[in-house]
Structure 1
Amino acid sequence: MALETYLVQVAFTAEAMAGLVKHPENRLSSMIPIVEKMGGKFIGSWISFGEYDSIAVIEMPDHVHIKAFSMAAMAGGGLRHFHITPMISFEKGVEAMKLAGSLAYQAPQED
């Protein structure tokens, strides 16, 4: 079964960030086993700047599994946001372009 690819962006609560500053740790050691238990694969993760504190690329069996992962992570506390972006390969993107080219969409009529 092919896995679906997702970009995951997380933001910690102020309290969780204070805890990480006081007791630095790599949170991947707690996340990777959960992803693998769900039949997924952890591709990579990075500390990021801006709205989100960390990003990861994760493969999961389907949308239900990635949503369950986000629910579990949020329910565990320590996160303000858990944003999921489904991604497709460029090859599938070209398939989508070809399909879109075969469709006829008409904008609403203006008065």
Structure 2
Amino acid sequence: MPKFLIQATYTPEGTKGLLEEGASGRRAAVDQVVTALGGTVEAMYFAFGEDDAILILDFPDSVSMAAVSLKVKASGALRTRATVLLTLDEIDEAARRQVAFRAPGA
């Protein structure tokens, strides 16, 4: 199952919602949306600094992750960045594949 690192920053409106619901309320909302699309929440942490929340999510496919991302971003409550996480085996497989590439100007 593809794994994703999500880095999220609350907008002022989203922060108001977090203050009303608390961290456990937001975790429950995340669990609900992720599991509804066949995914799981591996980890969810709150932070301060550039990012307000860090999550590691598993989804059955990238389209499910994209669907969640679109819905969350459309709410205006969060700005998010998603990074696909690859296993060691996936990188080993990628390293074995032949790729025809020519660097610019070469």
TM-score of the superposed pair, with normalisation by structure 1: 0.80
Name the counterpart of 1:5: 3
1:95 maps to a residue whose letter is E
Identity %: 28
Name the counterpart of 2:89: 91
Q: Report the Cα distance in structure 2 between the residues aligned to 1:69 and 1:21, rounded to whole angstroms.
A: 22
Q: Report the Cα distance in structure 1 between the residues aligned to 2:80 and 2:102, rounded to whole angstroms.
A: 36
SS at match of 1:24: helix
Q: Report the Cα distance in structure 2 between the residues aligned to 1:109 and 1:78, rounded to whole angstroms.
A: 44
Structure 2 spans left out of the alignment, 5+ residues? none
Aligned residues: 105
**Structure 1 residues 13-22 or 70-79, which shifts more?**
13-22
Q: Report the Cα distance in structure 1 between the residues aligned to 2:18 and 2:38, rounded to whole angstroms.
A: 28
| Cα deviation, residue 49, structure 1 | 3.3
Query: Following superposition of structure 1 onto structure 2, how do residues 29-44 of structure 1 map, counting pairs within 5 Å?
Result: 29-44=28-43
CA distance 1:97–1:19, change in 2 (3 Å): same
2:47 maps to a residue whose letter is S
| Cα deviation, residue 51, structure 1 | 1.9
| Cα deviation, residue 93, structure 1 | 0.7
Q: Report the Cα distance in structure 1 between the residues aligned to 2:99 and 2:70, rounded to whole angstroms.
A: 36
Structure 1 spans left out of the alignment, 5+ residues? none
Which has the greater radius of gyration? 1
Name the counterpart of 1:59: 58
**Quick check: which one's helix share is greater?**
2
Q: Report the Cα distance in structure 1 between the residues aligned to 2:17 and 2:40, rounded to whole angstroms.
A: 27
Q: CA RMSD in A?
A: 2.0
| Cα deviation, residue 16, structure 1 | 2.4
Name the counterpart of 1:103: 99
2:44 maps to a residue whose letter is S
